[in-house]
Chains A and B, each alone.
Chain A
Amino acid sequence: MSASPLPLTPAATADEVIVRPSVMRARSRSMASVVLPPLVVFVAFVGLWFLASYVLISPSKRFLLPPPQDVVSVGFLDAHNSAEIFAGLWLTTKAALFGFLLSIVVGMALAIAMSQASWVERSIFPYAVVLQTLPILALVPLVGFTIGYDFPSRVLVVVLIALFPVITNTLFGLVSVDQSHHDLFSLHKVGRWTRLRKLQLPAALPAIFTGFRIAAGSSVIGAVVGDFFFKQGSPGIGVLIDLYSSQLESERLYAAVIAASLLGITVFVVVGVANRLVVGRWHTSTRAGG
């Protein structure tokens, strides 16, 4: 999760731009070194899975761990099954996405308000912490009971989980601006809006993206948890996982779990790429990771 320091950056002592002629070469070499090791692990994992389901488990119990090729052929290559899984996945994705975006809007607005006046922070922040400490699982049935079992409830569950990391990381970023940068802006008697727009928000971007990344992962969890509880209407991926497991449809169960994982991985990668596009050019610790 945390980025490793960039090994190519020397301490800047010489009075010239740090030139890195080996960067292009290093990058093409590093493509292989980035892709290969995890690929080897993946192949080894699938191989072990294959061996386990044929060697370790007797044929009568093989449904507990169906071999990978069966999971692919039954879960993903069968048109009816894969349509069902991906329709469920899409429903869950929608809830996760709406909740995530809503958390960003509400969380950043709250954090900005808190950064502008300490009385706002003192009033609101304790409740943000309470939100985080509440057992969300215990709240979910309450949400359904109160506002129904439809899409808005699913989104609300996601927001309950994803809001806190957005608030805390944004607030942390906004209040952690260097004092000397604040002094620079104070010298020119700028208003708080200019200070926020030209200093605090850009300075907070790396922290804000850290919050986004945590919130994105939580959003997927929140959406799947929501599925488990809100079983009315079209089934989300969580409902399908529950259903397949109770019906001992092991190939489809494994396929659905893999699909749900793909959602989590996709969300993580998308936020990572956005982070790199927005702050990667200037921020020093965004090279590695996501």
Chain B
Amino acid sequence: MTTPIESPPPAAVDRMHATDGLAFERVSMRFPDGTQALEEVSFDIRPGEFVTIVGPSGCGKSTLLKITAGLLKASTGRVELGAGNLGYVFQDATLLPWRTVRANVELLCELEGIGKAERRRAAAEAIELVGLTGFEDKYPKSLSGGMRMRASLARSLTLKPQVFLFDEPFGALDEITRERLNDELLELFALERFAGLFITHSISEAVYLSTRVLVMSGRPGRIAGDFAVPFPYPRTPELRFDPAFAELSGAVSAALRGAHA
């Protein structure tokens, strides 16, 4: 079971201890109904790296995240997860409607058995970080989609994750809100320096956020393209209109079309 981990990508920072971050070694997934969702997926992500996977619907992107989080078990291959907490942001905000924003943000600390004073403090800090101060006592039903997603982010932040998984978190939001949340996420990334694995349909979102973009082919999901994103952080919205940004987006798009064909 000791297949060597793939060589680091070009954009990599210094190689850290092997157990930091996240590594996939030839991960395959075949569902009981015979659907081959993933085939021999191998790559790794180190702290300070933000990797985004783009791919067509049903290519197994979400399956990969579920395997990482232990919600599903890969058929073959292995996933190495470094020490520290895992953050998981779902497609929808998955707030519990009967809890206020504060109580929702405190939930994960509560489930991990962290004491009341400590989780109060962690929640207040996370709520401030995502800009929801003043909305602590609101129920999810009175929040907009963007604010719900912020609360969901805050909830994950309370555990200070070393590895952060995002399963198309902004897919259901309008473009203006989505772009604003992209910027806020980049600020969080600059602050917390987690290892990020982000899934999206949007090429511009992928290029804007990431240090590296992986293109996944349609079923069965396979890594069909690997692009280092050279733009330095902090990134600003103007980057979206930079010719180099357009060029890289075009290359990702071409790879995606090639993978889909």
Chain A residues engaging chain B, CB cutoff 8 angstroms: 9, 12-18, 178, 180-181, 183-188, 190, 194, 198-199, 202-203, 205, 279, 281-284
Contacts and interface: CB of A to CB of B under 8 A. Distances in A.
A190 B91 contact: no
Contacts of A281: 139
8 contacts: A12-B143, A14-B144, A15-B147, A15-B177, A15-B180, A180-B91, A187-B86, A283-B97
B71 interface: yes
B94 A184 contact: yes
B111 A17 contact: no
Nearest to B178: A15
A15 B144 contact: yes
Contacts of A199: 96
A17 B135 contact: yes
A15 B146 contact: yes
B14 interface: no
Interface in B164-182: 174, 176-177, 180
Contacts of A14: 144
In this complex, which of B110, B111, B176 has the most chain A Cβ atoms within 10 angstroms of its Cβ? B111
B94 A16 contact: no
Contacts of A279: 98
B142 interface: yes
A82 B174 CA distance: 65
A155 B84 CA distance: 57
Interface string B135-160: 10011111111110000000000000
Contacts of A282: 97-99, 139-141
A52 B71 CA distance: 70
Contacts of B88: 184, 187
Nearest to A205: B98
A35 B243 CA distance: 65
B147 A17 contact: yes
Nearest to B181: A15
A181 to B, nearest CB: 6
Contacts of B67: none
Contacts of A184: 88, 90, 94
B144 A13 contact: yes
B144 A17 contact: yes
A16 B144 contact: yes
Contacts of B139: 281-282
B69 interface: yes
A205 B96 CA distance: 13
A190 B143 contact: no
B142 A13 contact: no
Nearest to B111: A188
Nearest to B177: A15
Contacts of A178: 94
Nearest to B141: A284
Given A14-B144, A17-B138, A185 B98 contact: no
A186 B70 CA distance: 9
Nearest to A9: B141
B145 A13 contact: yes
B235 to A, nearest CB: 20
B92 interface: yes
B111 A186 contact: no
